[in-house]
C-alpha cells in the first residue's frame, strides 16, 4: 500500500494575470497577511513579473462564479435554529487562498470558488443570506467555537481529530498530490522521492503534518525512515500562495496539496509546473459547524443533500471542472481516519 493510499487529506500560473491569480489567490492553512493587503499584492506582482505574458486561453481558463439563484425550500428552512430563522443570515468563514475551491480573483476582495458557490446555494435553499468573511485557515475552527462565525467552508478534510471540536457536513472527495517544476528536475515520482529535499506545504494542513511528524498516519518522515533515507526538509508557509511562490522562486523542490488545487494550478500555468505521481487516496471535505446549536448541522446536511439530489450541486462542480470529486451522499461527521 502506497503512502497516499494510507493517508487521505485536504489538501501556479505562468506569468502575467494567470500567475497573479495563483500567487495572489492560491487554503488548508493560516493567512497572516489579510487578503488584498499591500504585502500580498506586491508579492503577487513580483512573482508575476518574472513570467511571460499570459495567453488569452489561460485567462479564459479561470471559471467565473455560478449563482443559481435557488428558491427557499420551506421544509429546509423549518429545520434551522430559531436564531437563523429570525436573522435570515449566516456568517461563513473561509481562507480564500486555495483556488479553485476558494480564492480572490485578481483585483477583487470578494472570495469566489467551488466552495463559495456551494455555500451560497446552501444558503439560498435554507432561505438565508450568506456573508462570507475571509479568515486564516488555522483560526477558523477556533473562531467557530468562539462564536465569530456560524460555519466554515475552506477545503477542510473531515478528520476524527477535528470532529472532536466541530461537526462536519461532507460534500466532496479529494486526495493529496505532489507539485514540481515543469520537467521534474529532481525526478520525483512518489513520497519517498521527497526524502532529503526541501518540500513545502501550507501551515495548519495535514500535508505539513505528513512532512514533519513521524507519528501521524501516512507520515512522509516515517516513509523516509523506513527507506533508510533522510526526512524531507519541510517548510511551512502561512498561505498556499506563499507555497506556490516558493516553488516559482526555487526555494523548494516540490510541494504537497489537495488534488483539486494541484490540478487547477497545472491547468492555468501552461507549461510552468506539473503534477507527479497519482491522486492516491481520497477523503471527504466537510463544512465545519459548531456543535451548538445542534439543529444547525442537520439543516445544512439536508440542504447539501437537496443540492445533490436536484442536480444543482453537479452544475456548480462542473462549472469549476471538479466533478471528479463529486459525492452522491452528504454525511454528518464522515471522517475515515
Q: What is the pLDDT of residues 93-122, one digit of tens each?
A: 999 988 899 999 989 999 999 999 999 999
* Cα four-point dihedral sign 288, 66, 95, 261: positive
What was the pLDDT predicted at 280? Answer: 65
How does residue 313 score in pLDDT terms, banded at 50, 70 and 90? very high
* Cα four-point dihedral sign 252, 258, 264, 270: positive
Residues 6+ apart with CB under 8 A from 56: none
- Ranges of H-type helices in 180-332: 206-212, 220-226, 240-249, 259-269, 296-310, 312-319
- Mean pLDDT of the residues in the chain: 83
State the cell numbers at 254: 516540490
84 φ/ψ sector (left φ>0, alpha ψ -120 to 50, else beta): alpha
Please give the average per-residue pLDDT across 209-223, as a whole number.
Answer: 89
> Is pLDDT of 2 > 90?
no
DSSP, res 53: P
Please give the average per-residue pLDDT across 293-313, as a whole number.
Answer: 98
Full-model pTM: 0.75
> Is pLDDT of 296 > 90?
yes
- Alpha carbon distance 105, 113 (integer Å): 9
- Alpha carbon distance 141, 120 (integer Å): 20
- Alpha carbon distance 269, 112 (integer Å): 19
> Is pLDDT of 239 > 70?
yes
Q: What is the pLDDT of residues 244-283, one digit of tens each?
A: 889 989 999 999 998 888 888 887 776 788 999 877 668 8
The proportion of the chain whose per-residue pLDDT surpasses 70, expressed as a percent, equals 81
- Alpha carbon distance 179, 232 (integer Å): 15
What contacts 24+ positions apart, CB below 8 Å, involve 33-37?
A: 33/238, 33/239, 34/134, 35/96, 35/97, 35/104, 35/109, 35/111, 35/134, 36/104, 36/108, 36/109
Burial 38-48 (b: 16+ CB within 10 A, else e): eebbebbeebb
> Is pLDDT of 310 > 90?
yes
What was the pLDDT predicted at 29? Answer: 32
State the cell numbers at 297: 448541522
> Is pLDDT of 308 > 80?
yes
Q: What is the pLDDT of residues 31-66, one digit of tens each?
A: 322 222 222 333 333 333 333 333 444 445 678 999
Query: ∠ CA 249-179-217 to the nearest 5 degrees?
Result: 120
Cβ neighbours of 102 (radius 10 Å): 26
> Is pLDDT of 194 > 90?
yes
What contacts 24+ positions apart, CB below 8 Å, involve 210-217?
A: 210/7, 210/9, 210/176, 210/256, 211/256, 212/236, 216/7, 217/6, 217/7, 217/337
What was the pLDDT predicted at 16? Answer: 41
> Is pLDDT of 216 > 60?
yes
Residue carrying the nine cell digits 470532529? 163
What was the pLDDT predicted at 277? Answer: 87
State the cell numbers at 164: 472532536
Burial 104-120 (b: 16+ CB within 10 A, else e): bbbeeeebbbbbbbbbb
> Is pLDDT of 163 > 70?
yes
What was the pLDDT predicted at 270? Answer: 65
- Alpha carbon distance 26, 157 (integer Å): 17
Amino acid at each position: 500500500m502506497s503512502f497516499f493510499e494510507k493517508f487521505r487529506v485536504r489538501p501556479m500560473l505562468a506569468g502575467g494575470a494567470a500567475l497573479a491569480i495563483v500567487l495572489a489567490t492560491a487554503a488548508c492553512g493560516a493567512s497572516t497577511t489579510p487578503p488584498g493587503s499591500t504585502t500580498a499584492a506586491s508579492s503577487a506582482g513580483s512573482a508575476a513579473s518574472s513570467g511571460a505574458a499570459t495567453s488569452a486561453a489561460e485567462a479564459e481558463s479561470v471559471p467565473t462564479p455560478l449563482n443559481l439563484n435557488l428558491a427557499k425550500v420551506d421544509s429546509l428552512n423549518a429545520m434551522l435554529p430559531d436564531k437563523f430563522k429570525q436573522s435570515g443570515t449566516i456568517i461563513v468563514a473561509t481562507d480564500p487562498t486555495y483556488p479553485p475551491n476558494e480564492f480572490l480573483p485578481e483585483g477583487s476582495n470578494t472570495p469566489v470558488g467551488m466552495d463559495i458557490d456551494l455555500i451560497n446555494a446552501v444558503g439560498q435553499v435554507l432561505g438565508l443570506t450568506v456573508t462570507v468573511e475571509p479568515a486564516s485557515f488555522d483560526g477558523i475552527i477556533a473562531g467557530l467555537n468562539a462564536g465569530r462565525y456560524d460555519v466554515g467552508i475552506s477545503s477542510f478534510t473531515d478528520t476524527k481529530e477535528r470532529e472532536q471540536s466541530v461537526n462536519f457536513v461532507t460534500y466532496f472527495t479529494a486526495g493529496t498530490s505532489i507539485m514540481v517544476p515543469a520537467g521534474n528536475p529532481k525526478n520525483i515520482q512518489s513520497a519517498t522521492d521527497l526524502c532529503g529535499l526541501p518540500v513545502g506545504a501550507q501551515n495548519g494542513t495535514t500535508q505539513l503534518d505528513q512532512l514533519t511528524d513521524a507519528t501521524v498516519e501516512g507520515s512522509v518522515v516515517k516513509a523516509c525512515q523506513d527507506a533508510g533515507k533522510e526526512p524531507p526538509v519541510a517548510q511551512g508557509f502561512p498561505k498556499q500562495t506563499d507555497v506556490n511562490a516558493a516553488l516559482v522562486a526555487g526555494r523548494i523542490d516540490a510541494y504537497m496539496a489537495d488534488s483539486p488545487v494541484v490540478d487547477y494550478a497545472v491547468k492555468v500555468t501552461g507549461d510552468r509546473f506539473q503534477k507527479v505521481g497519482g491522486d492516491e487516496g481520497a477523503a471527504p471535505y466537510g463544512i465545519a459547524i459548531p456543535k451548538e446549536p445542534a439543529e444547525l448541522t442537520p439543516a445544512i446536511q439536508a440542504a447539501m443533500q437537496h443540492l445533490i439530489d436536484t442536480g444543482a450541486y453537479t452544475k456548480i462542480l462542473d462549472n469549476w471542472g471538479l466533478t471528479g470529486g463529486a459525492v452522491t451522499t452528504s454525511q454528518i461527521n464522515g471522517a475515515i481516519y
